[in-house]
Structure 1
Amino acid sequence: MSPRKETVAARIARVLSQRIISGDLAAGERLRQDHLAEEFGASHVPVREAFRLLEAQGLAESEPRRGVRVASFSQERVREVAEMRAALEALALREAAPHLTSAILAEAEAATLAGDKAADVVAWEDANRRFHRTILAPCKMPRLMAAIDDLHAASAHFLFSAWRSEWEPRTDRDHRTILHHLRRGEVDAAAEALARHVRRVSHKPVESSGRQTSSLFLMPG
């Protein structure tokens, strides 16, 4: 069976999600239907569908009489995404565990090493997402994985907003702990370690235009 062709709405949503996650479209920025229809050479119908896809990912939000805007976020929203990821990823890992081969675990370890060597947040996020997808995709539950992918997009939005202009290299000990348990067949311990990992919400001081320091909350994994 040949791969399903990407719809116009999906293509628009994919491009806009990349712009939002990278910070090219800032939180609160309005997404103008007319401008986007012209840019993508499409009618308003697929643009509206793209907006719905972005809302499902938590990357956009619509307001009565104000249209659709890039989603802003708060500590509460970050924690909501963290709790949802913890529950869904632990479920996916338990389902995937019987299918995890030594080759798959080696691939996950390679993704962790790539993250350790990442020169910027873009490279780190790519390696981090590869680690999670590698150990979770064998669950063979496509709807569950689609929901997890949407939550990872929201996590990346939080992450990039804080680390777009600077990056602090890090060693991901949580990933190594998860792999250690999986190699020993300790599935419950691995799932618990994964849930703790994605629940860990930290904050980074940032300076506003008024030179007052505030805290921007994000997820490290």
Structure 2
Amino acid sequence: MAETVAERIAHVIGERIVSGELLPGTPLRQDRIAEEFEASHVPAREALQLLRAQGLATSEPRRGMRVAPLDPASIREIVEIRAALETLAFRLAAARMNAANFEKIEQALAEGEQAKTMAEWEKANRAFHRALVAPCKMPRLLSMLDDLQLANSRIIFSAARSTDLQPDSSYAHRQIVGALRRRDIHRAVNLLGAHIRGLERNVDEPGARSPHSGASKTEPGFE
């Protein structure tokens, strides 16, 4: 299905927010957005509402629409909601996994391990987590997870800028897939939950390791 004008605008601005080009608190003015994208005010307004629904923008009284904050409370909320919903989707998806699903998972793993930049790794990371849950066949749940993964990517880029993190392979991802292939669904789901929740701890810890480091076999690693 082709993107609407509003979806295209929201996608471009969303990526700017995720990458850190637009910082928390930056005004998102409807007239300027319409002018930049050579669109009317209607799709510009709809794009802002899409960004708000994704948790990337917020509306404040007398201040208008702005880039959403990325403080410890916001990070904690994103991580906990995502952990709950993604493990639910993964548990439902695990029983439906077939050879084609595993192929997509392995492709995303390989792309992440071969990544040379944080942007390349983050794209592969999104693909990996999407492949884990796609077989659940629940469109609304998957749409919610797409929005949460976007917010999660924003946290990763923010941490990367502040600690100079570099791409690396992910031992945690391999652990999850290994348990899944053995059909040890309970362990795979628990590993995924711990992995997601590890993001909050690693962001808070000074000198945290790479968000996808495979060096430590005791930490779940960034997600």
* Structure 2 length-normalised TM: 0.86
**Which has the bigger relative contact order, CA under 8 A and spacing at least 6?**
1
Aligned to 1:168: 166
- Give aligned-pair identity as a percent: 49
Q: Is the contact between residue 22 and residue 164 of structure 1 (CA under 8 Å) also seen in structure 2?
A: no
Aligned to 2:213: none
Which of 36, 39, 42 matches 2:36?
39
Q: Is the contact between residue 159 and residue 165 of structure 2 (CA under 8 Å) also seen in structure 1?
A: no
Q: Secondary structure at the match of 1:68?
A: strand
2:135 equivalent to 1:123: no
Given the superposition, is the C-alpha separation of residues 195 and 34 from structure 1 closer, same or farther in structure 2, using an over 3 Å criterion? same
2:134 equivalent to 1:137: yes
Aligned to 1:76: 73
Give the structure with the higher percent strand.
1
How far did 1:123 drift? 0.7
CA-based RMSD: 1.8
Give the letter aligned to residue 187 of structure 1: I
Aligned to 1:8: 5
How far did 1:167 drift? 3.3
2:213 equivalent to 1:220: no
Which deviations, in whole Å up to 9, do the C-alpha atoms of 1:95-153 show, x marking residues without a partner? 11122123422331232232122211101111111111111111111110000000011
Aligned to 2:178: 180
**Deviating 4+ runs (over 4 angstroms):** none
* Residues paired across the two proteins, number: 206
Unaligned runs of 5+ in 1: 207-218
Unaligned runs of 5+ in 2: 208-220
2:87 equivalent to 1:90: yes
Q: Secondary structure at the match of 2:95?
A: helix
Aligned to 1:212: none
| Aligned mates of 1:33, 1:109 — CA distance in 2 | 41
Give the letter aligned to residue 129 of structure 1: R
* Structure 1 length-normalised TM: 0.87
Moved more, 36-45 or 176-185: 36-45
